[in-house]
């Protein structure tokens, strides 16, 4: 475990090798699971603002669901997540020409239509954040079979999770925090050798 301020980082974040392999998994993380993407409270207004901009990227069924149910829901535990289509894929997802599930919000961002890239939970995946005591945040690796191709690719390329998710970690915690994380990890590695 690595602690930087009130952020507790699992050692798996430095040790596990991981690089998304969309050609192999086809974006399964956008469809598997019980709920849509977890949302932070401050993302709700962002999601509301981008929904109309994103709809042109989405299949008709997704647009209908968003019109009927809205862009997010509150679950029984009091957490928000994106709406899903028939309890499966995220309502903001679409299939590209290769049959890979992609994020409509991120596509709109890439096309310059919005400044909101996508929910931070999606950007950080397979890292999951958890609220802990005294405003501490847990940063953990969510190991799931659908990501085994990413583990294989990460291993062949030698890329640990914290490097693969550098941009997302900086987006969530800031560049100074990320640089400190790297210093701690690399310091531990050099001390071990």
Distance of CA 163 to the CA centre of its chain: 15
What is the average per-residue pLDDT within 54-76? 94
Predicted pLDDT of residue 148: 83
Residue 123: which of 141, 106, 104 has the closest Cα?
Answer: 106
Sheet arrangement for strand 38-39: 38-39, 80-82, 72-74
- For the record, the structure tokens of 78 come out as 């009091």
18 vs 158: CA distance, rounded Å: 8
- In the chain, what is the straight-line distance between the N-terminal and C-terminal CA atoms, in Å? 19
pTM for the structure as a whole: 0.87
Predicted pLDDT of residue 189: 59
Q: At what angle do helices 166-173 and 175-192 cross, to 10 degrees?
A: 130
Structural domain boundaries in the chain:
1-18+127-193, 29-125
């Amino acid at each position: 475990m690595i602690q930087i301020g009130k952020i507790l980082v699992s050692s798996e974040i430095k040790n596990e090798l991981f690089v998304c392999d969309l050609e192999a998994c086809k974006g399964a993380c956008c469809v598997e699971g019980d709920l849509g993407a977890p949302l932070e409270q401050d993302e709700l207004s962002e999601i509301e603002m981008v929904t109309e901009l994103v709809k042109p990227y989405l299949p008709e069924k997704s647009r209908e669901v968003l019109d009927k149910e809205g862009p997010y829901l509150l679950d029984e535990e009091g957490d928000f997540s994106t709406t899903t289509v028939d309890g499966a894929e995220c309502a903001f997802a679409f299939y590209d020409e290769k049959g890979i599930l992609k994020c409509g919000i991120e596509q709109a961002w890439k096309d310059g239509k919005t400044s909101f890239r996508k929910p931070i939970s999606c950007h950080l995946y397979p890292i999951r954040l958890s609220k802990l005591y005294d405003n501490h945040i847990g940063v953990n690796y969510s190991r799931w079979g659908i990501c085994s191709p990413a583990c294989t690719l990460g291993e062949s390329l030698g890329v640990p999770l914290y490097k693969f998710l550098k941009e997302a970690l900086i987006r969530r915690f800031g560049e100074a925090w990320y640089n400190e994380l790297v210093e701690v990890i690399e310091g531990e590695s050099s001390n071990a050798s």
